Every structure is written in structure tokens, then in C-alpha cells.
């Protein structure tokens, strides 16, 4: 009798194990379909460590990439995203999704990267200059960084350029202490000002922030206006949005949930604006003004953007993915000044004096 009972228990255990394995396979298939490519850390590894924040963040950035790519592809069905998985010798890798020369988008890129290794001296210096006390062991600082980042340059000058980036960072100090923080933001760069669009964009981001703390939107809106500032021009890169960095309180879980809300707000804050204007008629003069504004975009990204600088300072980083943010076309004219009280002068006013769009 005891042997029979053992056999029954063994049979039951096998059935449960087979069911669990089938469930896992089903889950894996579903995840694979949800993403643009298999995740850098591998699905099994992510599932094995699914309670750890690093795994949850990687799943979030993968989901955000797929969500945004599908929303963009639905608006520009004539072209498709080139999906490029790459590995980094020093540790980790990424997935770059880039669409070029569409009817609606001249260039749209949505990148995910999950990298680890040791911080270069220049990158550590850049972080220390922001007040981080990083104590290295034998001159080495192990780090892990992951994020999703995107820049979308539409063809029509009446559709704004949009950028977003959400990232997580961990650094292990000499005594084994782990320093962690989140950073990111979403911002809009129109060629021409449309107040209704500006209000919609900012309101959507404010709603995402307000779910967590009413103080966050005004604080991060101001930070965004200050960060995307082209010092040598005395103007902002665009009409802002939200931006934050080094966010490590109130708790890891709370900050993660906040970042998740911001990432989920990307499609609703931008896609309706694209739909509304992608078929607007435009003149050659308006296209020319768009090219000049794109020149400003390039100036900011190459001279001031911290993410671009960090990427260029990280050994083994993928230059193609870092410079994905640059448009296919841009223009620089000597001493170009738009006529006073023109539509072109109107946007410059707002770029020089940021507005409160939601009150």
C-alpha cells in the first residue's frame, strides 16, 4: 500500500511538473510575441529572477519598446522597423529598432540597452560632478545600466519631434554598497507652435506624475526646461515635458512604479498629435524652417546631452545606437532670423521663455 501511495504521489508530481513546464513554455511564447526581439538577459533568466527589480525594469523597457514601435508602425504601414540585436564585449547588449524614410516618419528609433561592466574613469568623473561619492576598488567601479530611449523625427513640419528615455542604474562601491537610481523623461520639439497639442502633451504627462505625487510634475517640468537648454543660443530645444535624474527615494518600488506610469504615458501623449497632423499640407518654406530647427536639435544632442556623452565615454558602446537620435536631414544657415510676428518667430518666443501649459 505504501508503495502504491508513493507511485500515486510520484505520478501527481510528474503531472504537476509537466503542467508547470507547459505553462512556462506558453508564458515564454507569449513574452516573445510581445517584444520586438528576445531580451538581452534571456527570457528564462528574467523569469527566474522575476521578483528582482532589475528583471522587472528590463521587462518594462522591452514592453515600452514594443508598444511604441507598434504604435508608430500602425501610422506608417509602408515601411517597417529594422530590428537589430547587438552584443557588447564588456557585458550585455541591446536591441535597436529603427524605421527610416517612411511616409510619416523620416526617422524613428526606439532602442533598448542592458549593459554591465566597469565604469570608465571619464564616466565616473561625470557622475561625481553630479555629487555622487563613488568609492572605487582598485580603481574599478562595477555597474549595470539599462534603459529604453527613443527619438522620432516626422517628415511633416506640423508634426513635432518627440524624445523619451527611461533608465535604471546600479553601481557597486568598494565596500559592496549598491548605489541605485532612476532617470528619464519625455519631451516635445515642435517646428511650429500648436497650443492645443502642447496642452495635451503636458496634461498627459502631468496625469502620470499626479498618480504618485502632485509635487512631481511642476518639479520635473522645470527640470526639463532647464536641462534641454541650448546655452549658446539662449533657447530651449523644445517645449519641454518632464525630466528627472538620480531619483532614489522614497523607495525602489515606488520610484519604479512612477517610472512605469511615465513610460505608459508615451503613446497617449504623442500618437494623437501625429494622427492629427501627419496629413497637414505644408510649404517648402515650412520644410526649410523644420530643417533649421533640426540643426538646433543636433547642436543640443552633441554638445550638451548627458546620455550621448555617457554613451560615447563607455567602452564598447554602440555608436550607431547612440547617434540614432540625429535626424536624416538638417540645415545650418548663416545668420538666419525669422521675420518678426511670423509663425517662426512665435515658436522662438516660447523656446526663450518657457510657458506653463497646464494651469
Interatomic CA distance for residues 157 and 235, integer angstroms: 19
**pLDDT at site 141:** 83
Is 121's pLDDT higher than 80?
no
| Whole-Å CA distances, 44 to 20, 32, 79, 83, 91 | 14, 11, 32, 21, 18
Using the 8-state DSSP alphabet, how is residue 79 labeled?
Answer: S
User: At residue 138, does pLDDT exceed 70?
Assistant: no
Strand, helix or coil for residue 283 = coil
- Annotated active-site residue in 153, 158, 163, 202: 163
With a cut of 70, say whether residue 358 has pLDDT above it: yes
**pLDDT value, residue 129:** 66
Q: What is the mean pLDDT of residues 286-314?
A: 92
Check: CATH 3.90.226.10 for 33-331+338-352? no
Residue 170 grid coordinates: 546600479
For Cα atoms 168, 266, 302, give the angle at the middle one, nearest 5 degrees.
65
Cα 284 from Cα 157, distance rounded (Å): 10
Distance CA 229, CA 238 (A): 9
Residue 163 annotated among the catalytic residues of the structure: yes
Return d(Cα 317, Cα 123) in angstroms, integer: 12
pLDDT (average), residues 25-46: 82
Q: pLDDT tier at 60 (50, 70, 90 boundaries)?
A: very high
Mean pLDDT of 212-233: 97
Can you give the residue ranges of every domain in the chain?
33-331+338-352
Residues 61 and 67: their CA atoms lie apart, in Å, by: 10
Residue 250: cis peptide before it, omega within 30 degrees of 0: yes
In this predicted model, which residue has the larger pLDDT, 208 or 28? 208
Whether pLDDT at 266 is above 90? yes
Record the pTM.
Answer: 0.89
> Going by DSSP bridges, is the β-strand pair 241-247/235-236 parallel, antiparallel, or unpaired?
unpaired
Residues present in the chain in total: 359
Amino acid at each position: 500500500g505504501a508503495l502504491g501511495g508513493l507511485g500515486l504521489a510520484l505520478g501527481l508530481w510528474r503531472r504537476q511538473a509537466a503542467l508547470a513546464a507547459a505553462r512556462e513554455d506558453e508564458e515564454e511564447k507569449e513574452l516573445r510575441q510581445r517584444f520586438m526581439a528576445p531580451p538581452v538577459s534571456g527570457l528564462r533568466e528574467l523569469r527566474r529572477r522575476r521578483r528582482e527589480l532589475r528583471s522587472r525594469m528590463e521587462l518594462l523597457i522591452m514592453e515600452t519598446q514594443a508598444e511604441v514601435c507598434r504604435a508608430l508602425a500602425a501610422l506608417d504601414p509602408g515601411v517597417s522597423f529594422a530590428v537589430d540585436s547587438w552584443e557588447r564585449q564588456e557585458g550585455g547588449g541591446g536591441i535597436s529598432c529603427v524605421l527610416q524614410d517612411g511616409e510619416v516618419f523620416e526617422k524613428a528609433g526606439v532602442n533598448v540597452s542592458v549593459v554591465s561592466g566597469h565604469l570608465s574613469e571619464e564616466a565616473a568623473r561625470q557622475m561625481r560632478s553630479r555629487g555622487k561619492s563613488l568609492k572605487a576598488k582598485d580603481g574599478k567601479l562595477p555597474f549595470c545600466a539599462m534603459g529604453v530611449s527613443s527619438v522620432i523625427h516626422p517628415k511633416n513640419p506640423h508634426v513635432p519631434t518627440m524624445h523619451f528615455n527611461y533608465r535604471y542604474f546600479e553601481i557597486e562601491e568598494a565596500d559592496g554598497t549598491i548605489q541605485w537610481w532612476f532617470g528619464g523623461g519625455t519631451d516635445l520639439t515642435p517646428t511650429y507652435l500648436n497650443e492645443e497639442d502642447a496642452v495635451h502633451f503636458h496634461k498627459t504627462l502631468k496625469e502620470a506624475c499626479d498618480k504618485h505625487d502632485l509635487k512631481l510634475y511642476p518639479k520635473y517640468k522645470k527640470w526639463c526646461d532647464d536641462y534641454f537648454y541650448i546655452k549658446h543660443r539662449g533657447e530651449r530645444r523644445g517645449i519641454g515635458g518632464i525630466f528627472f535624474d538620480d531619483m532614489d527615494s522614497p523607495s525602489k518600488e515606488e520610484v519604479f512604479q512612477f517610472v512605469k506610469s511615465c513610460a505608459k504615458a508615451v503613446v497617449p501623449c504623442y500618437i494623437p498629435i501625429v494622427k492629427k497632423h501627419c496629413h497637414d499640407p505644408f510649404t517648402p518654406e515650412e520644410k526649410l524652417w523644420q530643417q533649421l530647427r533640426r540643426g538646433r536639435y543636433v547642436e543640443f544632442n552633441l554638445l550638451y546631452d548627458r546620455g550621448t556623452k555617457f554613451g560615447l565615454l563607455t567602452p564598447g558602446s554602440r555608436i550607431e545606437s547612440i547617434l540614432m537620435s540625429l535626424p536624416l536631414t538638417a540645415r545650418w544657415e548663416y545668420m538666419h532670423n525669422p521675420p518678426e510676428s511670423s509663425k517662426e518667430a512665435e515658436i522662438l518666443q516660447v523656446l526663450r521663455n518657457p510657458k506653463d501649459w497646464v494651469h
